[in-house]
Each structure stands twice: as structure tokens, then as C-alpha cells.
């Protein structure tokens, strides 16, 4: 006679559910252990995944549909910018030819000083508002180096260096504060990182700061870091709140340049942060 | 739906949630982790630990926020599942 019986099952966990949950936990614990024990090996293994993910994210973002009017306006701006850059390029090439002839030099085009680094991970994938770069101590990177995006716009400083990767704390990360100035009157302000690449600052309500005013941080000369996009004034408050959009969008950074830290920019970090004692 | 289909759904959600930690914005990864956690409760904790392994540094944040959040979410999901199963059995 055929015997039937029911296997005893745990009311909370079945063997199947436990397997997937346990596998996920074991995988995560293994990742943590590898990160602690051998960080260079861990990040070397993860770097190709992060690079692919970052490239896929950028291509998806570029392919996302936008309004026709917005695209047309953007196209007009880009066409004008392209024409201006082409004219400037022709003038610079001619100037370079003239100078080389004058100096009787045979060198090639001047190189931009600094270390060029690819960005492996950036916000919003990185939840802590930092950048992970594909260069480390082997390429000459050291803690405290300043990081610049397109058009020499400062974006952060190097805080952690491994053999082949390094981590950058963005100036716009929540909690970061730095001295800056805004507008034609060069009104001094304290820039506060608001996350997502944005900044905020407080000014006296009587100050004449308008939307579109540029914000600068000290550096060789003045380094543009953003532009005022909103001014919140309240009749009952003695101060006004500025919202500042970054000049370099950290979400779209693919390449950055690292340069040795200058005391000028470092000293602008006015308050103690998680990156500075 | 048979057990094999359910197991496959759990597996797919678990893998999606873990991959999302690397490939997607963290807000989306958190939502996927919670969604997967309704079927596989340890997933939010696993995703939080993976996020800390990838992105945490002591000079960026003093506290591993995402691992703690994952632990709280996993504990909550276990408690809710226990209550639901107890009410079903009763």
C-alpha cells in the first residue's frame, strides 16, 4: 500500500526561500569581507562592472525623450557655441603656428598638466555623493589632490587612494562647506553642499544677488563653480536663501583631471567636514 | 502558481536587486530591494551590505547608513511575514 506523509515545514522559511535569501546574504558578506581584507582586489574586480553600468546609464540618459521645444533651443545654443569655438580654435592654431615659428620650437602641442581619470561611479549610483575614479597611487594620485571637471571647474578633492582606484569627496556632497563669492559685487558666502550636485547659501536679504549670477571659489584666479538658480526671500527673515546649480554636472562626469592640491582651494573649505579634521 | 514559478520570481527579484545596487540610482535600488524583500526578506540587508562594500568610506560617512537601513527593513519584513502567517494559520 502506498504510504503518504507530509513533510514538516517551517512556518516562516521554506527551503527554497531560505536558499535565495541565504545566497544573497552570503554574497554580500563575501563582498564586505573582500573589501576589508583585500580592497585593491575587490575594486579591481568591481571596476569593469561599474564602468559598464556608468556607460549604460549615460547612454540611457542621453536617449531619454525631451520636449521638441527644449531640444530645438538646446540645438540653437550648441550651434552658436560650436561656431564660436571653431573660430577661437582657428585663431589659437594660427597663434600657435606664429609662436612656434618665432621660437623656432619643434615641440608638439602643449599638454594639460594633471592626471586624467575616468569616473567609475558617481551620484546617483553612489549614495554617498562621491566619485570613484579609475586611477590610484600607481598613476601618481595622492590624498588631497584637487579634481576638476570640464573647463577646469573644481568638483572635489581626493580622500581615499588605493593602488588602482581613488575616491573623491564632491564639494556638493551634503555637509560640505566652503568659502565662495557670488555676483559682480563679489559678495562672500559659505557654500553648503545640498547633494545631487547642488549648493545652497545664505545672504543678507538686502544683498542684490540675482538669478544667473556666477559663484566662484578661490583658486588660480577665480574658479567658477556654479550659477544662482533661485533666490528665496521672506519678508520676515533677515536673510535670503540661494539655490545654486553646479557648473559641472556630477551626474554626467565621465572624465576628470586631478592636480596637486593648492593651499588656496583647500583653505576655502571653511568648516570641519567628514573629509577634513 | 506552482512552487517552481514562485522560486524563479524570488530568484529574479533577488538578482535584480543586487545588480541594481551597482547599476541604478540608489533610490531605485532601495525600492527594488524592498520589493524583493517582500518575497525574500534578507534581500534588503544583503543590498545594504553590498552598497557599503562598494561605496562606504570612513571619511565619507561615520555610520554605514545603508547597511543599518537594510537591517531594519529585513527585521520589519520578517515581523510582518510572521504576523501574516500567524493570522493565516489561525
Per residue in A61-90, pLDDT (tens digit) is 767 766 777 788 778 878 878 887 887 887
Q: Which residue has the higher pLDDT, A262 or A256?
A: A256
* The three three-digit cell numbers of residue A32, written as one number: 564586505
Q: How confident is the model at residue A277 (pLDDT cuts 50, 70, 90)?
A: very low
Looking at the complex, does the CB of residue A125 fall below 8 Å from at least one CB of chain B? yes
Mean pLDDT, chain B, whole residue set = 88
What is the reported pTM?
0.66
Check whether A109 has a pLDDT greater than 50.
Answer: no
Looking at the complex, does the CB of residue A7 fall below 8 Å from at least one CB of chain B? no
Q: What is the pLDDT of residue B30?
A: 93
Range list of β-strands (E), A88-186: 115-121, 130-133, 146-148, 154-161, 166-170, 177-182
* C-alpha distance from A1 to closest chain B C-alpha (Å): 28
Report the Cα B24 to chain-centroid distance in Å. 15
Cα distance from N-terminal residue to C-terminal residue, chain B? 23
Return the domain boundaries, chain A: 16-63, 67-110, 114-277
pLDDT per residue over A192-234, tens digit each? 988 877 889 998 888 888 888 888 888 766 788 888 988 888 8
Query: How much is the average pLDDT of B17-44?
Result: 92
Q: Which residue has the higher pLDDT, B32 or A198?
A: B32
Q: Look at A49 and B22 and tell me if their CB atoms are within 8 Å.
A: yes
- The number of domains in chain B is 1
* The three three-digit cell numbers of residue B87, written as one number: 493570522
Looking at the complex, does the CB of residue A86 fall below 8 Å from at least one CB of chain B? no
Residue A136: CB partners within 8 Å, gap ≥ 6? A161, A162, A163, A164, A165, A166
Q: Look at B59 and A28 and tell me if their CB atoms are within 8 Å.
A: no
Q: Look at A20 and B3 and tell me if their CB atoms are within 8 Å.
A: no
Q: What residues of chain A lie within 8 A of the CB of B41, using their CB?
A: 21
Q: Look at B85 and A29 and tell me if their CB atoms are within 8 Å.
A: no
Check whether A98 has a pLDDT greater than 80.
Answer: no
Q: Look at B59 and A53 and tell me if their CB atoms are within 8 Å.
A: no
Report the Cα A36 to chain-centroid distance in Å. 25
Query: How much is the average pLDDT of A185-195?
Result: 87
Looking at the complex, does the CB of residue A156 fall below 8 Å from at least one CB of chain B? no
Cα distance from N-terminal residue to C-terminal residue, chain A? 79
Q: Look at A24 and B43 and tell me if their CB atoms are within 8 Å.
A: yes
Q: Which residue has the higher pLDDT, B7 or B33?
A: B33
- Tell me which chain A residue has its CA closest to the CA of residue B7: A16
- Written out in words, the top-level CATH class of the domain with range A114-277 is mainly beta
Query: How much is the average pLDDT of A123-134?
Result: 85
Its ipTM equals: 0.90
- Comparing A178-187, B19-28, B46-55, the range with the smallest average pLDDT is A178-187
d(CA A255, CA A124): 16
Q: Look at A20 and B7 and tell me if their CB atoms are within 8 Å.
A: yes
Query: How much is the average pLDDT of B11-29?
Result: 91
How many interchain CB pairs under 8 A, A with B? 116
Report the Cα A229 to chain-centroid distance in Å. 19
Check whether A263 has a pLDDT greater than 80.
Answer: no
Residue A135 burial by Cβ neighbours in a 10 Å radius (0-12, 13-18, 19+): buried
- For chain A, give me the number of helices (H) and strands (E)? 4, 12
Query: How much is the average pLDDT of A137-143?
Result: 91
Q: How confident is the model at residue A11 (pLDDT cuts 50, 70, 90)?
A: low
Q: How confident is the model at residue A16 (pLDDT cuts 50, 70, 90)?
A: low
Query: How much is the average pLDDT of B64-81?
Result: 93
Segments forming the whole domain that contains residue B15: 3-89
- Comparing A55-64, A73-82, A168-177, A185-194, the range with the smallest average pLDDT is A55-64
| Selected residues 207-226 of chain A with any CB under 8 Å from a CB in chain B | none
Q: How confident is the model at residue B88 (pLDDT cuts 50, 70, 90)?
A: low
Amino acid at each position: 500500500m502506498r504510504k503518504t506523509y507530509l513533510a514538516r515545514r517551517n512556518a516562516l522559511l521554506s527551503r527554497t526561500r531560505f536558499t535565495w535569501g541565504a545566497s544573497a546574504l552570503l554574497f554580500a558578506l563575501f563582498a564586505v569581507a573582500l573589501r576589508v581584507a583585500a580592497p585593491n582586489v575587490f575594486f579591481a574586480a568591481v571596476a569593469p562592472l561599474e564602468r559598464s553600468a556608468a556607460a549604460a546609464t549615460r547612454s540611457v540618459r542621453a536617449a531619454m525623450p525631451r520636449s521638441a521645444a527644449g531640444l530645438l533651443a538646446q540645438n540653437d545654443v550648441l550651434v552658436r557655441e560650436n561656431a564660436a569655438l571653431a573660430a577661437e580654435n582657428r585663431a589659437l592654431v594660427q597663434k600657435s603656428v606664429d609662436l612656434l615659428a618665432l621660437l623656432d620650437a619643434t615641440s608638439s602641442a602643449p599638454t594639460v598638466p594633471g592626471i586624467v581619470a575616468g569616473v567609475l561611479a558617481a551620484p546617483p549610483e553612489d549614495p554617498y555623493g562621491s566619485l570613484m575614479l579609475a586611477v590610484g597611487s600607481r598613476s601618481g594620485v595622492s590624498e588631497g589632490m584637487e579634481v576638476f571637471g570640464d573647463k577646469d571647474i573644481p568638483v572635489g578633492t581626493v580622500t581615499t587612494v588605493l593602488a588602482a582606484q581613488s575616491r573623491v569627496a564632491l564639494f556638493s556632497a551634503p555637509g560640505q562647506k566652503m568659502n565662495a563669492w557670488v555676483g559682480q559685487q563679489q559678495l562672500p558666502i559659505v557654500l553648503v553642499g545640498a547633494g545631487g550636485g547642488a549648493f545652497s547659501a545664505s545672504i543678507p536679504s538686502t544683498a542684490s544677488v540675482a538669478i544667473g549670477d556666477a559663484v566662484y571659489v578661490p583658486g588660480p584666479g577665480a574658479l567658477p563653480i556654479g550659477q544662482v538658480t533661485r533666490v528665496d526671500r521672506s519678508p520676515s527673515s533677515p536673510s535670503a536663501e540661494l539655490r545654486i546649480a553646479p557648473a559641472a554636472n556630477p551626474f554626467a562626469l565621465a572624465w576628470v583631471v586631478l592636480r596637486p592640491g593648492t593651499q588656496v582651494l583647500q583653505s576655502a573649505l571653511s568648516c570641519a567636514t567628514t573629509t577634513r579634521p | 502558481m506552482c512552487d517552481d514559478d514562485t522560486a524563479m520570481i524570488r530568484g529574479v527579484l533577488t538578482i535584480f536587486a543586487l545588480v541594481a545596487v551597482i547599476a541604478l540610482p540608489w533610490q531605485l535600488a532601495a525600492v527594488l530591494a524592498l520589493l524583493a524583500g517582500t518575497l525574500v526578506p534578507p534581500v534588503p540587508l544583503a543590498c545594504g551590505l553590498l552598497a557599503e562594500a562598494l561605496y562606504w568610506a570612513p571619511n565619507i560617512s561615520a555610520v554605514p547608513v545603508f547597511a543599518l537601513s537594510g537591517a531594519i527593513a529585513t527585521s520589519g519584513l520578517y515581523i510582518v511575514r510572521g504576523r501574516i502567517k500567524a493570522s493565516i494559520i489561525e
